[in-house]
Amino acid sequence: MINPNYVYSINQSIDVYRIGDDIIEFYFINSRRRVTLKVTLSVIDIISSLNGRNTILEICITNSVEYSTDVDAFLNYLMEENIISCITTREKEKSILSVTDIDRYDRQLNYFDSVFQKPSYEIQKRLQDEVVLVLGAGAIGSGIAIQLVMSGVRNLILIDKDDVTIDSLQRHFYFNVSDIGRPKTHALKDYLLSIDSSLACESYQKLIDFDTTMDQWLDRSSFVINTLDEPYIGITSLKVGRACYEKKIPMFVAGGFDAHLMSTGELIIPDVSPCVDCYTSHFSETLKDWEPQYNTAAIPDSEILNNRFEVGGLASMSLFSISYTVMAILNYFATGSESKYGRGELLFDKLEIKYLNISKNPNCLICGSI
């Protein structure tokens, strides 16, 4: 609801164009959305005066326009369309963030304002309050942790069993040669603290297997990201996802999924989205006739069962999956809803993404309705 005694302004990520005498177009720079309106000269005067300094009533008096129900309805429409914001309210909202953080996240806050129908400061505060458990500090998991800390997440728990090796330098974004031999989680923690020294970060070098009790970390987490790809991400997700479902914690499954490294993952929200068992049963069905093909000519038979071959990959491919994941997570923190895309993979030679549409299985023992 518009309060005529409050100050309003056009949002910063919107350009306004006047076309002829009576057409106004609002162009959302981030989303490329356009809102085109036929208006009167009086309305153009009001829009031109929404400068963030004068109240609506003051603007009406200056422009000799009556604050009518039509003007009120028009301004409310601009609010609903996320074209204008109330500066008076924003000044109050600002108090939930420090002055330093308002400066630090200025452009991100503008982005939130232009994309989400929720005050940007509330979204930023939520990022700061979340406790995110990142399982796996490989190329994908570490990159997600970095981008989340850059965006303002201040509480992280990192778990990974591996040390930094020389091949880590090719796909990870935080290792230096001097880190080789250190636990990945420790090296990553140091890097994250260099981005934000106020970060509360726990790091554990530990193998997560079927016998590992997760409660000690899950009970302190509000969001989980699983990138553990050993023995396979589908298997680790089943274990972690069932535990998350019980505790009503959202989980994002990210990673290269072995077969393809430019993948988009899925956000699993308990009681909202298909659960991890729905995904597992879907893949069990679609992959029932699939068997791995080994290049048996390359190595002696005796070594085949004992060797695990790494799928080829580039840092650029990891970065695609990382960025998609973080965009989807930020969307969830801002809106509470899942991404509309989910599991898919980018085929670079065609520049197209193939998505798998998975719905809730009504017969699912975990989330089914039957």
User: Which chain residues interact with Zn ion by CB under 5 A?
Assistant: 275, 277-278, 364, 366-367
**For the stretch 333-361, what's the b/e string if a residue is b when 16 or more beta carbons lie within 10 angstroms of its beta carbon?**
bbeeebbebbbbbbeeeeeeeeeeebeeb
The maximal CA–CA distance of the chain, rounded, in angstroms, is 90
Query: What is the DSSP code (8-state) at residue 318?
Result: H
What value, to the nearest 5°, has the Cα angle with vertex 353 and ends 349 and 354?
110
CB of 360 to Zn ion, least distance (A): 6
Q: Are 294 and 304 in contact (CB under 8 A)?
A: yes
Query: What is the DSSP code (8-state) at residue 57?
Result: H
CB of 278 to Zn ion, least distance (A): 4
CB within 8 Å of 241: residues ≥ 6 apart: 226, 251, 253, 268, 275, 276, 277
Q: Which is nearer to Zn ion, 71 or 276 (CB)?
A: 276
Q: Which is nearer to Zn ion, 186 or 239 (CB)?
A: 239
The DSSP bridge partners found for residue 8 are 86
Q: Which residue is nearest to Zn ion (CB)?
A: 364
CB of 364 to Zn ion, least distance (A): 3
What value, to the nearest 5°, has the Cα angle with vertex 339 and ends 338 and 343?
110
Q: Which is nearer to Zn ion, 161 or 360 (CB)?
A: 360
- 157: Cα separation from own chain's centroid: 17
The answer for 252, left when phi > 0, alpha when psi is -120 to 50, beta otherwise, is: beta
What type of residue is 334? A
Q: Which is nearer to Zn ion, 229 or 277 (CB)?
A: 277
Q: Which is nearer to Zn ion, 213 or 359 (CB)?
A: 359
CB of 271 to Zn ion, least distance (A): 10
Which tokens sit at 66? 């009556």
CB of 21 to Zn ion, least distance (A): 58
Which tokens sit at 247? 């505790």
Cα gap 183→153, rounded to integer Å: 22
CB of 281 to Zn ion, least distance (A): 8
Q: Which is nearer to Zn ion, 235 or 353 (CB)?
A: 235
Which ranges of 116-251 would DSSP assign to H, the alpha helix? 120-129, 139-151, 184-195, 215-218, 233-247
CB of 339 to Zn ion, least distance (A): 18
Q: Which is nearer to Zn ion, 101 or 277 (CB)?
A: 277
CB of 284 to Zn ion, least distance (A): 13
CB of 269 to Zn ion, least distance (A): 12
Q: Are 129 and 97 in contact (CB under 8 A)?
A: no
Q: Which is nearer to Zn ion, 179 or 277 (CB)?
A: 277
Cα gap 220→330, rounded to integer Å: 20
Q: Which is nearer to Zn ion, 46 or 249 (CB)?
A: 249
